[in-house]
């Protein structure tokens, strides 16, 4: 039995180790090697994934699997078309062909060859690996959602790599720049709440610091005692500043904590002569706003911000970056999904059950001799 497990996730490693222990030729395919994948989880999930589990998984993999890092172009059946079935047999009679990008320049090219021939051989070529089964097990934490949610907002693709826009797990680690006065958090789950609590000290260092939260939920974090305490303190500070303003002791106050509940981000862009980003958000008529309701009076509003932290979550089922030339329910092709919950807790039992289901299904076609 020969199986390709594609992905840089903990699920991919677990699956590769399990099939290697069965005696299968187990190929792990991804940009990161097994040690790098384990380091990723050790660095980002030390509270939910035990070091003992990671060490044991590495030992199960050592010397038992094959690792490939080449870029996959497409996966197809070797001979069968999409709607073709061999007479009296299942489509599993035909193997899968994993086509990947290779470079002949890695091999020694004889000096005697003409220059034109040498140049043609230096271009990327297509190679392939034939396997009996394919498991797609992506690392969802490497596939952050967009500012717009599941899909990008307008102009987001243009600015996605900008140093002032941060996504996913990396956004949790980054400290705001000293010159940043207006910060925007996009999202409504535990990730945003974690970042918000981290920024509480930043908010207190200057009354000129403003924090904007754009959430699609009508009242995000309503059940969080930490958030409610922070919000109460922010509102108390605002009341004091309003009182001082009315007594003409200070400038007109602007809230430090601004929540746009029930909103989506329509676009993000910046002017040529400005460093700030301008985020336009809107609230559709089918969503409610139950906190800072004044922010929902206008259907469209534009915010000026210095940095954006995108914590909208992760794509639970990211699409492959390679083409697949068969139906998603093709026998022998499996999609192994993430086994982390919204709080990034790892379910050991569930991943074992999922891998066991794949193992049981493959045994219908192959038995160990």
CATH architecture of 2-141+315-362: 3-Layer(bba) Sandwich (3.50)
Give Cα separations from 358 to 37, 128, 137 (angstroms).
Answer: 22, 24, 12
Q: In what order do the strands lie in the sheet with 2-6?
A: 66-68, 25-29, 2-6, 133-136, 333-335
Three-state DSSP at 70 gives coil
Token pair in block for residue 190: 């535990």
Can you read off the two tokens belonging to residue 198? 């981290």
pLDDT digit string (tens) for 63-78? Answer: 999 999 999 999 999 9
Positive/negative CA dihedral, 186, 190, 194, 200:
positive
Map out the domains of the chain as residue ranges: 2-141+315-362, 145-310
Does residue 138 contact residue 337 with C-beta atoms inside 8 Å? no
Is 145-310 a domain of CATH 3.50.50.60?
yes
Q: Over its length of 369 residues, how does the chain's per-residue pLDDT go in tens digits?
A: 999 999 999 999 999 999 999 999 999 999 999 999 999 999 989 888 999 999 999 999 999 999 999 999 999 999 999 999 999 999 999 999 999 998 765 555 556 555 665 566 566 789 999 999 999 999 999 889 999 999 999 999 999 999 999 999 999 999 999 999 999 999 988 889 999 999 989 988 888 899 999 999 999 988 889 898 888 888 887 777 767 666 676 565 678 899 999 999 999 999 988 999 999 999 999 999 999 999 998 889 999 999 999 999 998 877 888 999 999 899 999 999 888 876 778 888 889 999 999 999 999 886 554
Which residue from 258, 303, 298, 304 is spatially nearest to 282, judged by alpha carbons? 298
Give the H or E element holding residue 329: none
Q: Which two tokens stand for residue 82?
A: 């999409």
Q: What is the pLDDT of residues 36-57, one digit of tens each?
A: 999 999 998 988 899 999 999 9
Token pair listed for 15: 């699956």
- With b for 16 or more beta-carbon neighbours within 10 A and e for fewer, the 130-162 pattern comes to ebbbbbbbbbbbbbbbbbbbeebbebbeebeee
DSSP state, 105?
Answer: G
Output the pTM of the full model: 0.82
**Cβ atoms of residues 259 and 215 within 8 Å:** yes
Q: So what's the pLDDT on residue 105?
A: 55
pLDDT for the residue 369: 45
Q: Is the dihedral of CA 15, 17, 22, 27 positive or negative?
A: positive
Q: Which of 256, 279, 263 is nearest to 188 (CA)?
A: 263
Asked if residue 100 lies in contact with residue 127, where contact means CB atoms within 8 angstroms, the answer is yes
Name the residue with tokens 């395919």.
Answer: 29
What local confidence, expressed as pLDDT, does residue 54 receive? 94
């Amino acid at each position: 039995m020969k199986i390709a497990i594609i992905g840089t996730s903990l699920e991919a490693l677990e699956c590769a180790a399990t099939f290697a222990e069965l005696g299968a030729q187990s190929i792990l395919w991804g940009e990161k090697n097994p040690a790098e994948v384990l380091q990723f989880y050790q660095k980002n999930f030390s509270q939910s994934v035990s070091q003992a589990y990671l060490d044991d998984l590495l030992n199960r993999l050592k010397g038992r699997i094959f690792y490939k890092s080449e870029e996959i172009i497409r996966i197809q059946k070797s001979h069968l078309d999409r709607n073709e079935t061999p007479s009296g047999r299942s489509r599993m009679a035909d193997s899968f062909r994993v086509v990947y990008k290779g470079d002949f320049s890695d091999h020694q090219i004889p000096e005697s060859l003409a220059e034109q021939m040498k140049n043609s051989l230096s271009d990327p070529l297509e190679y392939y690996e034939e396997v009996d089964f394919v498991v797609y097990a992506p690392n969802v934490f490497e596939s952050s959602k967009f500012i717009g949610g599941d899909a990008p907002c307008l102009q987001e693709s243009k600015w996605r790599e900008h140093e002032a826009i941060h996504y996913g797990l990396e956004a949790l680690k980054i400290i705001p720049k000293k010159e940043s006065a207006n910060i925007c958090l996009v999202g409504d789950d535990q990730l945003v709440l974690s970042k918000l609590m981290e920024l509480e000290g930043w908010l207190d260092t200057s009354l000129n610091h403003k924090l904007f939260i754009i959430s699609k939920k009508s009242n995000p974090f309503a059940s969080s005692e930490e958030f409610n305490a922070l919000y109460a303190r922010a509102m108390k500070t605002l009341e004091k500043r309003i009182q001082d303003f009315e007594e003409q002791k200070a400038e007109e106050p602007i809230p430090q904590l601004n929540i746009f509940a029930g909103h989506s981000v329509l676009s993000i862009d910046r002017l040529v002569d400005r460093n700030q980003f301008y985020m336009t958000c809107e609230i559709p008529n089918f969503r409610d706003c139950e906190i800072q309701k004044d922010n929902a009076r206008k259907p469209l509003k534009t915010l000026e911000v210095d940095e954006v932290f995108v914590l909208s979550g992760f794509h639970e089922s990211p699409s492959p970056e390679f083409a697949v030339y068969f139906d998603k329910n093709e026998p022998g092709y499996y999609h192994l999904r993430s086994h982390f919950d919204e709080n990034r807790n790892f379910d050991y039992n569930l991943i074992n059950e999922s891998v066991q289901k794949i193992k049981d299904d493959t045994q219908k076609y192959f038995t160990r001799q």
